[in-house]
Amino acid sequence: MARASMLFCRVLLGVAATLGGHAAATATTPDDGELRVRIVLMRHGVRSPTSAPSELSVYSREPWPTWPVAPGVLTEHGSEGLRALGLRYRQLLMADALWQGDCATLDRNVRVIADSTPRNRASGEALVRGLAPACNGRFQALPADTNNPLFHFGAKDEGKDDSGSMAPPRDWPPPAFDALQQVLLGCQDEACLTQAMARGRRPLLDPAKAGDPSARAKALKTAGSLSENLMLGYAQGFALSHVAWGRADGALIGQLITLHNLQFALAKKSMPAAAQMGSNLLSHMLATLQQAAGEKPVATPLAPASTRTVFLLGHDTNLANIGGLLDADWHDARQPDDYPPGGALVLDLRRTHGVDMVSLSSAMPTLEALRQANFTRDDALVRRSMPLPPCPGETSCPLEKVEHWLSTRIDGTSVDADIPEMPWVQ
């Protein structure tokens, strides 16, 4: 694999140099040209925390709620949410003429690829049920818990989405840090923290280590994970008296989750970590765009050339890695969580006036839509277009410019030109 990765790196750089010598096409705003392919990189649905309640309760005054499933597993509510989200995407694909919704052309036009963790496989099954409710739909995935390098390149154990190290935050405390401590313990002053520690509870940051950068980094990682777990309880539809022990409503949950955003910005989205973890997946996403444009890609495309839409059911880490490689910022006050369950980054390739143009957007379910498992409202999915750095200020960018720019971002040593053979699951 190492030799293949180095070869990929050299070939990609060679292609970029050739493209750089050509006259670059001018970036334009997409018109009603032909939409050739769409790639939707999506996080799985609502799951339980990956840690048991007993592990989480050391940080709180009261015990954490018991979930109806084992740690890290998609819930029935999460499955219903992904089914409802699939129905919303069905409508979007039909509106954009990517698929007409008939069963006969489902496999030819739409491909769903899920990571191998049980929650992702269950999310893939639920999404397909929403996309094609009248069809005997299917998705692709490796056997359960077999590492898939598309989603975890070179990883042996990615059981928890929040694994990994991170740099210390520059400003302390980060916004919402004290508010999270208040929610966890019901207070945040020094006397409160001292009493909590005497009762065997752990503060987010030991006051004795408040000036230690490494302790701050660890505290932010913990805070990011705990804020995400509180968000998941809200999205699961727990009674508000059980969400954050009755000390937080949806608005406060939205503030607290920004700690998870910051944690990921430092640990998963920043370079070079994003390149090391995300280059393999992005290379195959790029190859899929190149195939749709009639080019011969270096890496293997994710699906056959006839496929119009590819759904990738991954993790929040994948969204952060690809977002970092694309230098994208999709934060939106309407959905303060940058990585909600079912949240997606979308790449479109459209042929406009004979030029293949790439556009990037985000599609993030609101917390209320997740809580209700209902996406029928127009505002249930927050959609945002983002410029790609090779074409600043534009809503789309020529593929050749994107290829040349990505050759400077993708880490060829972290790429396998092939993809694993993933069985169909029905």
DSSP letter for 27, please: P
Cβ–Cβ under 8 Å, residues 56 and 229: yes
Q: What are phi and psi of 127, to 5 degrees?
A: -60, -45
What is residue 26's predicted lDDT score, i.e. its pLDDT? 38
How many CB atoms are located within 10 Å of the residue 253 CB?
A: 23
Tokens read off for 391: 């074409």
The residue among 108 and 156 whose pLDDT is bigger is: 108
Task: Render pLDDT for 128-145 as a digit per residue (tens, 0 to 9).
Answer: 999 999 999 999 999 997
Task: Render pLDDT for 21-69 as a digit per residue (tens, 0 to 9).
Answer: 333 333 444 445 799 999 999 999 999 999 999 999 999 999 999 999 9
Which residue, 30, 28, 23, 37, is CA-closest to 400?
23
What is residue 155's predicted lDDT score, i.e. its pLDDT? 66
Task: Render pLDDT for 197-210 as a digit per residue (tens, 0 to 9).
Answer: 899 999 999 888 98
What is residue 9's predicted lDDT score, i.e. its pLDDT? 52
**Residue 214 to residues 181, 296, 383: CA-CA distances in angstroms?**
19, 46, 36
Residue 189 pLDDT > 90? no
* Domains of the chain with bracketed CATH: 2-161+269-425 (3.40.50.1240)
What is residue 170's predicted lDDT score, i.e. its pLDDT? 83
Apex CA 357: angle with CA 351 and CA 363, to 5°? 110
Cβ–Cβ under 8 Å, residues 72 and 119: yes
Cβ–Cβ under 8 Å, residues 104 and 135: no
Q: Report the DSSP beta bridge partners of residue 47.
A: 74
Residue 359 pLDDT > 60? yes
- Grouping H, G, I as helix, E, B as strand and the rest as coil, residue 215 is helix
Which residue, 356, 352, 347, is CA-closest to 33?
352
Rounded to an integer, what distance in angstroms lies between the CA atom of residue 1 and that of residue 283?
A: 15
Q: Which residue has 């406009």 as its token pair?
A: 352
- Give 221-252 as a 3 state SS string: HHHHHHHHHHHHHHHHCCCCCCHHHHCCCHHH
First vs last C-alpha separation in the chain: 31
What is residue 165's predicted lDDT score, i.e. its pLDDT? 61
Residue 285 pLDDT > 80? yes
Task: Tell me the average pLDDT across 393-415.
Answer: 97
Percent of the residues in the chain that have a pLDDT greater than 70, as a whole number:
90
What is residue 191's predicted lDDT score, i.e. its pLDDT? 87
Task: Render pLDDT for 106-122 as a digit per residue (tens, 0 to 9).
Answer: 999 999 999 999 999 99
pLDDT band, residue 392 (cuts 50/70/90): very high
What is residue 23's predicted lDDT score, i.e. its pLDDT? 34
CA 35 to the chain's CA centroid: 23
Task: Tell me the average pLDDT across 281-302.
Answer: 97
Rounded to an integer, what distance in angstroms lies between the CA atom of residue 358 and that of residue 43?
A: 22
What is residue 25's predicted lDDT score, i.e. its pLDDT? 38
